Amino acid sequence: MFNGIHEECGVFGIYSPDDTSVAMQTYMGLYALQHRGQESCGIVVNDSGVFTYRKDLGLVHEVFNKDSLEALGEGNIAIGHVRYSTTGNSNRSNAQPLVVRHVKGPLAIAHNGNLTNAYELRTEYELKGAIFHSTNDTEVISYAITEQRLVCSSIEEAVEKAMEKIKGAYSLVVMSPQKLIAARDPIGFKPLSIGRLGSSYVVASETCAFDSIGAEFYRDVRPGEIVIIDENGLRSIDTHITPKPHMCVFEYVYFARPDSVIEGSSVHMARLKAGEYLWKEHPVDADVVIGVPDSGLDAALGFSNASGIPYGVGFIKNRYVGRTFIQPSQTERTNSVKIKLNVVRETVKGKRVVLIDDSIVRGTTSRRIVNLIREAGAKEIHVRISCPPFTNPCYFGTDIDSKENLIACRMSIPEICKEIGADTLGYLSVEAVNSLTGNDNCKFCDGCFTGNYPAPVPKEIPKDKFEFKIKKSAK
C-alpha cells in the first residue's frame, strides 16, 4: 500500500521443562511481534523429538485459532516466526519456521535478516545435489547447519561451524529434538533477547514479546554468541563474539515497538529524543505538531515537548486495512492513503502544522499525506523526518530500495520539499540519529544514509535473486 520502508521479521522460541503449553505461549509472543511482519507466520512444537507445525500466509490470528493451536499438541520446546519478505517472494513455501529432517533427526529454524553470500552458498549446495523448496535465505542457513551436523557431535557445534560460512545479518532460533538454540551474527545487526518465565527460557526479537506472556527480560544475546538451552539450563559459545554490536538504526527509528528495550535502551525514549533533535536542528514557528502513525507519533511528542508547540492528534489510522488491500486501478491506488489514514480536521484546519514522519523513500506516500492535510485546511505544512535521507540500499534485511528509486538520490532537499508539496522540509542529521540511545556500548549500521557499512556488501542483491524466468534461446 505504501512505498516506504517495511518491517523485517520476528522470531520467538521457548524452552519449558515444566509446561507443555508452549504452542499458546508462542502464539502470544508472535502476536506481540506482528508489527515485524504481516505476510506469513508459523509455529513448530517439539514433543520429545516429534515436530508438529503449522505455517501459512496471513496474520497470526488468521493462521491460528483454538483448533489449530490444539492440533499442534503438547511439547516443551517451540519456535515461531512472523515474516516480511526482504528476499524471496511472498508465498506459502517461504513461510517459516523451516523444518528439516536429516539422518541425525529433525531441525527447525527461524531467521531475521539477510545473508550477503546466500546466492554463492546456494549455488555451492545445488552443485552438490541439494534441492531447495523455497527462495529465502533461511533454507540456505539450514543447509549450512545440516552439512556440519552430519560431521559434528552436537547441534551447537554445527551452528558454530556454519557461522564460519554464512555472512551478513541473522538472528536465529534453532530447535533440535532436545535443545533450543539462539544465535546472532557477529556484527549484531538484528536484535535478539533472552527472557525468563519461571523455570522456562524465552528468546525473541523484541522484549515486548516477553511482556505478552508475563516473562521477565534476562539479557540480550551478544553479537556472535550462540546460546544453548536444554535440560541443564542455559550456556553459550563465545568463539564468534565481538565487543560491540552495530545495530540497524531503524530498530529505534521505525521497526521496533515503542515499549521494547533493545541493547539496554528504550525505543520510546529514543524516538522522543529524535523529535527533540529535530526541533534543535530544524526549528519552525507553528501552531500544532502531529505525527504519522505509528512510528512518527513518539517523535512528534518529543518535538512538541522540546519546542513548546502543542501536540495534536492529526490522523486516525484504520487498523483493519492490511498490506494485502487490493488496489486494481490507479484511482484506488491514489486514494489508498485516505483509506488507511484520515485527518482530524479540527486539529489542522487554519493552522501552521509540523508533520513528523519516520522516513521518505520514494516520496509518493509523503506527497499524498501532505495533500490530505492541505485538503483538510492546514495553512502551512512543515515536514520533519526522524532520520537522514536514504541514499543507499540495505543489504542486511531492511527493504530499502535501489538507488534509482530513492528520491534523495535524484533530488536535493529543496526539490524533495517541492515534490511532496510541503512548505519546509527537514531531516534528522546522521550525527543526531547515531546518538539517539546515548548507549556507548551499541553502535549503529547507518549505511543506508552514509554508504559506510560495518560489513562487506555484494555488488547487488535483487529481492528475487533465486527466482527468474528461463530465457528462450534465439531460433
Which amino acid is it at 180? L
Kindly state the helix (H) or strand (E) to which residue 315 belongs, with its residue range.
strand 315-317
**Contact at 8 Å (CB) between 104 and 86?**
no
d(CA 201, CA 196): 5
**Contact at 8 Å (CB) between 168 and 120?**
no
d(CA 201, CA 340): 38
Which amino acid is it at 458? P
Kindly state the helix (H) or strand (E) to which residue 174 belongs, with its residue range.
strand 171-175
Block residue for cell numbers 539450514: 142
- Angstrom CA distances, 145 to 88, 109, 140, 161, 221, stand at 20, 10, 9, 8, 19
d(CA 457, CA 472): 32
How far does the chain reach from its first CA to its final CA, in angstroms? 42
- 413 is written with which cell numbers? 532537499
Dmax over Cα atoms in the chain, in whole Å?
Answer: 72
- Residue 297 region by backbone torsions, left for phi larger than 0, else alpha for psi between -120 and 50, else beta: alpha
- Taking residue 430's Cβ as centre, other Cβ atoms within 10 Å add up to 17
Which residues, 6+ apart, have CB-to-CB distance to 71 below 8 Å? 52, 54
Strands 288-291 and 352-357, by their bridges, are parallel
Which amino acid is it at 434? N
Torsion of CA 365, 369, 371, 373, to 10 degrees: -170
**Contact at 8 Å (CB) between 278 and 303?**
yes
**Contact at 8 Å (CB) between 281 and 274?**
no
**Contact at 8 Å (CB) between 52 and 77?**
no
- Taking residue 100's Cβ as centre, other Cβ atoms within 10 Å add up to 17
9 is catalytic: yes
Under DSSP, the state recorded for 9 is -
d(CA 187, CA 184): 8
Candidate list 9, 41, 445, 448, residue with the active-site label: 9
Kindly state the helix (H) or strand (E) to which residue 280 belongs, with its residue range.
helix 267-281
Query: 3-class SS at 375?
Result: helix
- Residue positions annotated with a catalytic role: 9
